[in-house]
Structure 1
Amino acid sequence: MKKISFQTFLPSNILFILFLFNSFSITSQNIEKVNPIFIDDSLPIETLYISPDESVKSGQDKTRFPLLIGHTQPVDIQANEKSNWIMLDSIHTKIWRIHLIFNTLSKHVLYFSHFNPGTTGRFFAFDKDKKQVIGAFTKQAKMASTAFAFETMVTSDLILQFETTMSSDDYQIDLNEIGFIDADVLNTGFGESGSCEVNVKCTEGDAWQYIKQGVARVLVKEGSSMFYCTGTLVNNALRDFTPYFLTANHCGDGASESDYNKWIFDFNYEGGSCSDPETEPEPQTIVGASLKASGATYSGSDFKLLLLNKSVPGDYRPFYNGWTRDPLITQSGVCIHHPQGDIKKISTFTNKPLSTDYEETSENLNGFYWKTGWTETINGYGVTEGGSSGSPLFDANGSLVGSLTGGWSDCSSLTEADFFGKFNKSWDNNGDDISHQLQPWLDPNNTNINALEGMGLDDSLLMANFVVDFSEININQEVNFENRSFGTVTNYTWTFEGATPSTSNEANPKMISYSSFGSFDVKLIVSNEITSDTIDKKEFIHVLPYLYPNPSDGVFTLNFGSELPTDIEIQLTDIAGRRISVVENIVGPKIYLTSIAHLSGLYILTVKSDIIQRNLKVWFR
């Protein structure tokens, strides 16, 4: 770590001013558009001077590496009870802030090991002149993991500010790394792609406007290095909008779990027309993901399947791209990508790709890659560049057939080829483990589906869906439902068979209790002024009888709740499958059981009715 020095001041007179501001161009499901409290500039502020590492150099070869864009530097910045706070008694608010001063002008990425603003907290970042403000990040920014990250503006100084109520203590803000995007040194980011590239809003992209909604730029973090890559949302056989995201494995192939939780996915980072925009467009971001499966470059098809940490908001207009496992490919198609980390571009092929292996030129019908060349079109000659790694290759039907590993094309080598790891090889040909296959994730019920269409949303479309924390429970256990519907929903109508309460109009009903043995339906109707949609999950909640005591001395009780089913069958067996005799004594909804002869150890109690059969483990002392 380079030398870091502190200057700490304790404020005395407290003055503050509320200013209007021009927000920086970034939107996110995590940001609430509110004004920060700007403290009078005459008051002292804790200041941290940071001299970044200047060792990052350009010149990486995109045939093997993702596009390096900068590096991170460790810091230790915390807002906690030991920090210096400004107390604003009149509005019952306390403010923590720090002024970061850098010796270079660059864009920065803030990486947090813990980011929880608490119930009332608001976190902002702004430049010294208060002309560019990012935030507020509120409790909505808290992720399933503790980590968080966001990009800031190009500046040589940055003020971080956290506001919360004076009595609040449920927050944790730990900034442990700052990334430096060396755009001028490495020629990456907005406006830096080659002049031959074609914007996705040009006529070449007219037929691909839904499909491009699934494609996003990825700011990859791997240790202390940062890269740009591309990838796409991908549909799965359940069609439940699970936010699976497909890119290349060489994009952060050494990333840790902590790194993945800090990856930034920029959706809709594109121009509004065929011409390059003069100002940078707003990305819509998702932060964080977890690794589900991957395949190596030379011994496999170089794919990486991620699960985003949060669902993609409906107002992002996401499209979950479809795919095909057909080993044959169409004559034409496109690649949609973010070359050099620039706005979204489209490249077109009109000659059938060659089945081969990575960096090979001869045909191999069992090869793991598509070797693809590009075609000049009316608005340019789209190719790929660094930053395009992981981008999807689509056939003429709009089906995903591959993910970009690398190649030799660029705007000075228009006729050179690129290599895309085959989707059908990534499906189940990279090894037997589920961590090296797409199939267990994209077809979890083993339907052996060969192709799947893409799926998106429009203003008039609703799609009802939900999940539950536990679908198999014991008598009188409570469950919590989470709405996963897509579209603009204004009304929710839930029906819970066999539960208390039996109905609800809340978006996310909690503490739904089941008091009887059996399998029960759950139905959700979502609606708005235009349309409605219904999902009815049959026999979705499985309620098991309560078995006690367990372990026992051979005498135990099965409680079936409010009433005993008339068709119930009970059988006790040892682990070898031999049946053990038991005496049954039925009293109301309970069955008292006594084994005739047994040894100590594990036994299996099978409870069966017309609608449910479950095996319960019983331990005898």
Structure 2
Amino acid sequence: MSKHLFLIILLVALFIKLDAQNKLSKPLSSQYELSSIIPLKSFINTPIIVDNKSKNYPPQAGYTIPIKISLVDGIIDSTLSGYIWRTTIEIKNSNSVNFYISNVSLEDYQSLFLYTKEYAHLTEYHSIDANNISTDFIDGDKIIVELNSKSEITNIPFQIMEAGILLSKPQGFGDAGNCEVHVNCSEGNDWQFQKNGIARILVKEGNTTFWCSGSLINNTRNNGEPLFLTANHCGINSDSVDYADWMFYFNFESDDCIQPLEEPDYNLLTGSTLLSNSKFGTGGGSDFKLLRLSENPGLQFNPYFNGWDRSTTESPNGVTIHHPQGDLKMISTYQKPLTSTKYDNDQVDPNGMYWRVVWAQTENGFGVTEGGSSGSPLFNEEGLIIGALTGGRASCTYLEQPDFYGKLSYSWAPLTSDSLSQLAHWLDPIGSGVMYLNGSSLDSTNVFAGFVSNTNTVIIGDNITFKNTSIGNITSYKWLFEGGEPSYSELEFPENIKYKRIGEFDVTLIVSSSKDSDTLIAPDYIKVVPNIFPNPSDGLFKLVFGKEIPDSYSLRIFGLDGKEVRFMIKEKGTNYLVINMNYSEAGYYLVRFSSDELITSYKVMVF
């Protein structure tokens, strides 16, 4: 089997959806003239309204009410094709309803349908074994639930726990300000890959729901793991059960530059797990949240896993792509360099955790952000994510006010962070140390460079072996080893690269296919330290550098009790020092060498 064919099979397998939703089959009840009356179970709809006037809190989409349905709440009919269980759920005074269903365990011979009168708004599920399902919204206040089974129905293999209701004043489609710019206007021409990673989120937090935005994001394995970046204040009080019910709307956008009269089609994915998030508020953190979606977005999503840049470079221009007020996908453009600052602060602070951005007028509008844009990615001029929206003062009324995005560079590995409060562990699982990573559509014609080494720190004269972790139908490899011998290789797995001088050195890998190439540069990836020998010794040690000794350096020696001890330089060559510790007592000592390019320590023994 060719590598090309194998990769295609791998990618297709990666995106298979386990729930065979959208098979376009018909409920059994539609194939028979059944005379039985479907029971109606009605639930009181008591609206829950959250007072959140601030743009910096997501706009409320709706709320949920608890419901409970059992086998006895429906009626069972027997047909030649199988058994049918049906019930009608009424949510009084609702315009649109969805359901949060738990403990779903449909067998191969069972199917679940939800629909309104005359089988309108039909939704179906087949052969699912999952903890949670969040259904899409169905217009109306009476929803029929139907279970079909080849065998006799003695229990219903699911539990409907809650009903979700959109607010009486519909929010979402058509609610964005009139200054916004649709993503398929001319402003979005150069951002057609990036937009496919953006989704509108229906956030569930207890018994309320909100709109937010976010993006699929790539990792250094380039393996299509469904990682999703948004803002921590989106569902800041959500628990694991809530996250499992979050809903992600991909490709919810206008086909052109005009607001359509009716909602366009979209691709829906439900369920997620929290991986890591900012543990402090905007004063002490960057407000990021990283999720893993419950399944890979299928090929029909045309997904794009956006790349990222964790450097602190101030981007001169770029965009954000978002869903203001839960509306269609929009694009906003900045044309002046970002500034580093604290949250909601106009004063420049190089150590700030936020990017301050001011939006610009463009051909088709003056795109800004609104409630519902929270969590949307900020892209630099290279099309890479450098932050996620926390909030700000910009709006269609106050066009020239700033917004603030939590820096990806700070979210990467905050001080005192662990895997639950940083991005590094998840976005660089191979420990490559790269500063940036390109996005990926997982097209089989694409290639992605990646590597690891058996060590990153060596003593002068030692060898290093590199392991290629690149992905794609690769036809050639080009390695550049700064400071190494050999300095160039075209092998897939180069071994025994020797480093004969001290310093920190870059490693570059360029991979190519017949149609594509990718370059991975790992700055200062290899650290080569001087060698000290013999060790142990009678008090004379030779410190070898492999190149000229730096003009300015510091050499200090300490006992294990922390006290500094005296020594002499017996001999100084062009690339070595001979240290005399003959007057020191027998025991262990720490030799600390530092210069502008290197700081290292050695444990030595005097006998």
SS at match of 1:230: strand
Q: For 1:174-323, what aligned pairs fall within 5 Å after superposition?
A: 174-182=159-167, 184-185=168-169, 187-295=170-278, 296-298=280-282, 299-323=284-308
Deviation at 1:430, TM superposition (A): 5.6
Report the alpha carbon displacement of residue 249 of structure 1 after superposing the two structures with TM.
0.5
Equivalent residue number for residue 79 of structure 2 = 89
Can you give the 5+ residue segments of structure 1 that lack an aligned partner in the other structure?
1-27, 464-484, 488-529, 532-621
Name the structure 2 match of 1:442: 427
Matching residue's letter, 2:176: S
Q: Does 1:73 align with 2:78?
A: no
Q: Distance in 2 between matches of 1:37 and 1:486?
A: 45
* Secondary structure in 1 matching 2:158: strand
Contact 2:92 2:141 in 1 (8 A): yes
Residue in 1 aligned with 2:41? 48
- Aligned match for 2:99, one of 96, 110, 129: 110
- 1:173 & 1:310 partners in 2: Cα distance? 20
Measured in 2, the distance between the counterparts of 1:451 and 1:289 equals 25
CA distance in 2 between partners of 1:132 and 1:151 (Å): 10
Return the offset for 1:37: 2.8
8 A contact 1:118–1:171 mirrored in 2? no
Larger radius of gyration: 2
- Quote the residue 1:23 is aligned against: none
Q: Which amino acid aligns with 1:138?
A: H
Aligned pairs (5 A) from 1:27-46: 30-38=21-29, 40=33, 43-46=36-39
Q: Secondary structure at the match of 1:229?
A: strand
Q: Secondary structure of 1:319's partner?
A: coil
Residue identity in the other structure for 2:21 = N
* Residues 121 and 171 in structure 1, CA contact (< 8 A), matched pair in contact too: no
| CA offset digits 1:104-126 (Å, max 9, x no partner) | 13222210122222222211111
**Cα deviation, residue 57, structure 1:** 5.1
Q: Percent identity?
A: 34
What number of residue pairs does the alignment pair up? 431
Range that drifts further, 95-104 or 286-295: 95-104
Does the CA-based 8 Å contact 1:83-1:96 persist in structure 2? no
Partner in structure 2 of residue 428 of structure 1: 413
Q: Which residue of 2 is the match for residue 416 of structure 1?
A: 401
Alignment of 1:526-565 (within 5 A): none
Range 266-275 or range 98-107, more displaced: 98-107
Q: Could you say what secondary structure the match of 2:370 adopts?
A: coil
Provide the C-alpha distance between the structure 2 equivalents of 1:84 and 1:112, rounded to a whole number of angstroms: 17
Kept in 2, the 8 Å contact 1:233–1:244? The answer is: yes
The answer on whether the counterparts of 1:120 and 1:168 sit within 8 Å (CA) in structure 2 is no
* Alignment partner, residue 529 of structure 2: none
Q: SS where residue 140 of structure 2 aligns?
A: strand
Letter paired with 2:208: S
Q: Which residue of 1 aligns with 2:550?
A: none
What one-letter code is carried by the residue in structure 2 that aligns with 1:70?
G
Match of 2:122 among 127, 133, 143: 133
Equivalent residue for 1:601? none
SS at match of 1:320: coil
Per the alignment, residue 600 of structure 2 pairs with none
**C-alpha spacing 1:448/1:171, structure 2 compared with 1 (3 Å):** farther
The AA in structure 1 aligned to 2:281 is: T
The residue that corresponds to 2:389 in the other structure is: 404
Partner SS, residue 24 of structure 2: coil
Q: Deviations over 1:257-313 (max 9, x none)?
A: 111111111111111111111221112111111111001332100000001111111
Flag the 1:113–1:42 CA change in 2: closer, same or farther, 3 A: same
- Deviation above 6 Å: which 4+ runs of structure 1? 168-171, 459-463
d(CA) in 1 for partners of 2:20 and 2:315? 38
CA contact (8 A) 1:60 1:68 kept: no
CA shift for structure 1 position 58: 6.2
Unpaired runs of 5+ residues, structure 2, are 1-18, 449-470, 474-513, 516-607
- For residues 154 and 412 of structure 1, the distance between their equivalents in structure 2, rounded to whole angstroms, comes to 33
- Summarize the Cα distance change of 1:240–1:459 in structure 2 as closer, same or farther, 3 Å threshold: closer
CA RMSD, aligned part only?
2.4
Tell me, in whole angstroms, the C-alpha distance in 1 between the residues paired with 2:76 and 2:96: 28
Q: Which stretch of structure 1 is more off in the superposition, 350-359 or 425-434?
A: 425-434
- CA gap of 1:364–1:216, structure 2 versus 1, over 3 A, is same
What is the distance in 2 between the residues matched to 1:353 and 1:124? 50
- How far, CA to CA, are the matches of 1:459 and 1:128 in structure 2? 44
Deviations 1:332-351 (A, max 9, x none): 10000001111100000011
Report the equivalent of 2:341: 356
